[in-house]
Amino acid sequence: MQTHFSPAQLADPHLASLEKILRSCVHCGFCTATCPTYVLRGDERDSPRGRIYLIKDMLETGRAAGEDDVWPIDHCLSCNSCMTTCPSGVDYRRLIDHARVHVEETGKRPPVERALRGALVALVSSRRLFRLSMVGARVARPFRAALKRVPGYGARLEAMLRLAPTQLPPRDATEGPGTFAATAPKRGRVALLVGCVQSVVRPQINAATIRVANALGYDVVLAKGEECCGSLAHHMGHEATGHAQARRTIDAWMAEVEGAGLDAIVISASGCGATIKDYAAMLADDPVYAPKAQKIAALAKDVNEFLLPHDFAPVRKSKKVIAYQSPCSLQHAQRLADAPRNLLRKVGFAVRDIPEGHLCCGSAGVYNILQPETGDGLRMRKLAAISKVKPDMIATANVGCLTQLALESKIPIAHAVEYVDWACGGAAPFEGMG
Ligand code: SF4
Ligand code: SF4
């Protein structure tokens, strides 16, 4: 793609690196075929290629984001499906990350919209506030129909209440801090990301991860001072907040690295994993944190990636068929499309792939709240694709996808590690597993 930056602009190393990415796009349009928003609407402005042109124009002119710039950027799921497809290796993720920050800093959003986005960042990245907001959702739920009629924001308020679980599991030791000792001859020590939303709505996922890792001989540490990994703030263009959260979590893990040592940092929410593995790039310009970020990113492992090389001794076998729903943050961002399905097969499950497996389920952080129409459309499309392989149960690897699909799925759904745990003698994710 031809660009028209001035020498003065290109003296800025950040702008120069973005210009290099823009030039790598040959506008072939292959990416449009696998972009969920383009597949749904067929609008070039709602495609990767359209967004790249838009970002190029904003960067070249240095202009503030106008209304026509904001919506295509906000409509992008950051699913990275376009990056998997692109034959030229265009690093779209850097472009959209930059565009989101630019929109937040220069775009004109109505004050209510700005407040809603700020509130979501605060609520979703704090376990305490998120738990509190679930109490608020319970109180507000009876007024769902009335709230849906609020001009401009009704659909989002309704989506928020719909997605909020009606009941929360009780708090347990998996919220940390603490250490769970290996239950087999010791072979190492790992930290587990406790996380924010997942540890409140589905603590069973971390509990299963701890049991399986302990049984393989790993001490599992839930580091003191660990906070939100910064993923949600980062993906909403709240750069300073996301980076501050990342730095605090890096500090918590570095204390463990420099103390008793860590063999890995295990992450059971693939959305968080994608961000943590990107810490080195996120904090590359920070002279104090860049080396630490590199160290933490190198230690980060998705739970499926971490477990897969090990030998297991399953004690239970299920005759039921699993459909595996691959989260975008695992298949496109972390390039681990096969790890969960291979792990499930390794412990004895029959796993079927689903059609259109590359398309997002519409969860994408808080996208299903901010863009409920597209989020709902993608959920129904994903559930229809899953039903085609006639599974008895669904496996995924990210709590966002799990919550998004469970909302309307008649087929039970769990994280892959919960199935692995059950096969190895742990808790059943739901009744009727045998
Ligand atoms: S596939 Fe890659 S090179 Fe082709 S238009 Fe999309 S981003 Fe550009
Ligand atoms: S990240 Fe996903 S939604 Fe955004 S342009 Fe790429 S494929 Fe489309």
What pLDDT digit, counting tens, does each position of 327-380 carry?
999 999 999 999 999 999 999 999 999 999 999 999 999 999 999 999 999 999
Residue nearest atom 5 in ligand 2 by C-alpha distance: 48
Residue nearest to atom 2 of ligand 1 (CA): 86
Residue having the nearest C-alpha atom to atom 2 of ligand 2: 79
Q: How far is the CA of 113 from the centre of ligand 2 (A)?
A: 22
The letter for the amino acid at 415 is H
Q: Which two tokens stand for residue 412?
A: 């039970």
Whether the CB-CB separation of 106 and 62 falls below 8 Å is answered with no
Q: Is the CB of 27 under 6 A from ligand 1?
A: yes
Low-confidence ranges of the chain (pLDDT < 50): none
Q: Is the dihedral of CA 326, 328, 331, 336 positive or negative?
A: negative
Candidate of 39, 74, 82, 95 to mutate for ligand 2, largest count of ligand atoms within 8 Å of Cβ:
82
Q: In this structure, is the dihedral angle defined by the CA atoms of residues 300, 306, 309 and 311, taken in order, positive or negative? A: positive
Asked whether the whole model's pTM tops 0.75, one would answer yes
Q: Helix, strand, or coil here: 225?
A: coil
Q: Are 253 and 191 in contact (CB under 8 A)?
A: yes
Closest CA to 293 of 316, 276, 268: 276
**pLDDT at residue 86, rounded to an integer:** 98
Structure confidence at residue 434 (pLDDT): 73
Domains of the chain: 7-106 (1.10.1060.10), 111-163 (no CATH), 173-307 (3.40.50), 321-423 (3.40.50)
The closest ligand to the CA of 97 turns out to be 2
For residue range 69-80, list pLDDT tens digits in order: 999 999 999 999
Cα 230 to middle of ligand 2, angstroms:
21
What ligand has the least distance to the C-alpha of 36?
2
Predicted local confidence at residue 417, as pLDDT: 98
Handedness of CA 276, 278, 283, 289 (dihedral sign): positive
pLDDT at residue 177 in the model: 97
Atom of ligand 2 nearest to the CA of 51: 5
51 lines ligand 1 (CB under 6 A): no
Q: Answer yes or no: are the C-beta atoms of 203 and 175 closer than 8 Å.
A: yes
User: What is the share, in percent, of the chain residues with pLDDT greater than 90?
Assistant: 91
The predicted structure's pLDDT at residue 152: 84
Question: Beta strand pairing status for 264-267 and 300-302?
Answer: parallel
Beta bridge partners of 267: 302
DSSP annotation of 6 reads -
What is the CA(65)–ligand 2 centre distance, in A? Answer: 19
Compute the distance from residue 79 Cα to the ligand 2 centre, in Å: 5
Phi and psi angles of residue 396, each rounded to the nearest 5 degrees, phi first:
-140, -170
Strand pairing category for 393-396 and 413-415: parallel
Q: How far is the CA of 205 from the centre of ligand 1 (A)?
A: 37
Residue nearest ligand 1's atom 4 by CA: 28
CA of 24 to the centre of ligand 1 (A): 8
What pLDDT is attached to residue 151? 86
Rounded to whole angstroms, what are the CA distances from 272 to 209, 302, 399? 15, 9, 10
- State the pLDDT at residue 166: 85
